[in-house]
Amino acid sequence: MQKNVKMIYPSYIDKFQCIGGKCEDSCCIGWDIDIDKETFKKYHKVTDEAMKKMFQKNVHNNQYCTNKDLDYGRIKLGKTKRCPFLDDENYCLIQGKFGEDYLSSVCTQFPRVLNKIDDHYEISLDAACPEAARIILGSKEKIEFKESEKSLGKYIMSGVLDTRSSEFKDTPIRYFKEIRDFSIKIIQNRNLNFSCRLYVLGDFLNELEDIESNEIKEFIREYDIESEAKSYKRESMNYVLQVSFLKNVLDSLDILNENDSHKFKKYTKEIMEGYNIKDNEPVIENKDEYINAFEKYTEEYIESNSYIFESYIVNFIYNNLFPFSESDCMFDGYILLLFRYSLMRFYLVGKYIYNGKDSVEDMVEFIQVFAKAVEHDKNYRSDILEYIKENSYDNMEFAKMLL
């Protein structure tokens, strides 16, 4: 019998239920599928002849295994990266034949994200799942957090952090919970427009880097969100600089050849046609068009539906141990979070130029596709952070440009 543990989680978690074969972007298509050792052994002990042959053909040892409880084995995928255990209606043959207990830890848990902070567990959902994205982003209410005892079940730990450890004694990590809670408070401050909230978050973390660890609590208590927000002013020309910068980023990432998501490739083709950036043509040639498009989209879609982006950012902060999501440097976590948002908005505006319209449903669908195609690509994250640091962009001036 599974032991119950203390669990803290967003209130939306109780609404989630996998819709299986009805899902329009199955997590069993497009991703590598890892098998833990216990499940791997189960697969090779089944007596059902048809399933036994399927397991022997499609489940193999992972020569790059990093953790036997996570990726001891791997399912062999074809060119379409579709799990061979899906039936014609995208339902799992393994679960249908043997029950959920025969699913690997990865398959059982997704889209749930589980972390352990000190003596409690935190569970949330990953927006890369369409149904999870609709639940996370679909409510106009602020994300709130609950605490109760729940069963862990079959799980994989995404992150473990003991802030009480002696190694963090004189570091900001000791005050991780206070810093993260205040970061969420900034993003949920609906008295400010969304870009202003992101600016204040950067200002808060940037200043925090220079504060002695024993003064962090006092700094947080005295930090005045509304007062700091007055120093932010949006510069329209920054939109033009963003188009130039992010177009170069897309070229370097080579999305059309390197990314496995057909939907994300489709979006990429649409935005490049929408922005109509020709080779060797300076972006400045179309500056008025870009500024008008960004300003109109920001007013009509982002600010009018800022709860979508607020919930996306709050959820990201919660399930990625932000601001220590990239390194021990808090500003690294911030600048990459801001980059993600800026790239997302770059796509949304490009789609808007291409289609001439947008909708809440289309915005949520895009964010889900973005999360699946981009958020889960660790290579791009490290490459982008390295590029930002090499060019000394890890500062508030660069952050203002991305806003």
Residues 111-129 pLDDT 10s:
999 999 999 999 999 999 9
Q: Map tokens 């080779």 to a residue.
A: 279
Q: 317, 313, 329: which is closest to 385 by C-alpha? A: 329
The parts of the chain modelled with pLDDT lower than 50 are 1
CA separation for the pair 11, 136 (Å, rounded): 10
Long-range contacts at 226-231 (CB < 8 A, ≥ 24 apart): 226/189, 226/191, 226/192, 228/200, 228/203, 228/204, 229/192, 229/196, 229/197, 229/199, 229/200, 231/203
List C-alpha distances in Å: 112 to 3, 13, 333, 365: 19, 9, 21, 19
Query: 5 has which bridge partners?
Result: 150
pLDDT at 238: 93
pLDDT at 81: 84
CA separation for the pair 90, 70 (Å, rounded): 24
Phi-psi region of 368 (alpha: psi -120 to 50; beta: other; left: phi over 0): alpha
pLDDT at 141: 96
CA separation for the pair 285, 283 (Å, rounded): 5
Return the number of other C-beta atoms located less than 10 Å from residue 193's C-beta.
Answer: 17
pLDDT in tens, 229-242: 999 998 999 999 99
CA separation for the pair 90, 93 (Å, rounded): 9
DSSP code, position 197 = H
What number of CA atoms fall less than 13 Å from residue 274's CA on the CB side? 23
Query: 250 has which bridge partners?
Result: none
Residue 187 in contact with residue 317, Cβ under 8 Å? Answer: yes
pLDDT at 7: 92
Q: 357, 325, 321, 264: which is closest to 30 by C-alpha? A: 264
pLDDT at 2: 61
Q: Map tokens 């699913």 to a residue.
A: 103
pLDDT in tens, 233-277: 989 999 999 999 998 888 887 887 877 788 999 999 999 999 987
Q: 266, 274, 277, 269: which is closest to 244 by C-alpha? A: 277
pLDDT at 225: 97
pLDDT in tens, 196-242: 999 999 999 999 999 999 999 999 999 999 999 999 998 999 999 99
With residue 139 as reference, give the H or E element that holds it. none
pLDDT at 66: 86
Three-state DSSP at 84 gives coil
pLDDT at 1: 46
Handedness of CA 253, 263, 374, 63 (dihedral sign): negative
Residue 324 in contact with residue 220, Cβ under 8 Å? Answer: no
Supply the Cα-derived Rg of the chain in whole angstroms.
Answer: 22
Query: 121 has which bridge partners?
Result: 7, 116
Three-state DSSP at 53 gives helix
pLDDT at 210: 93
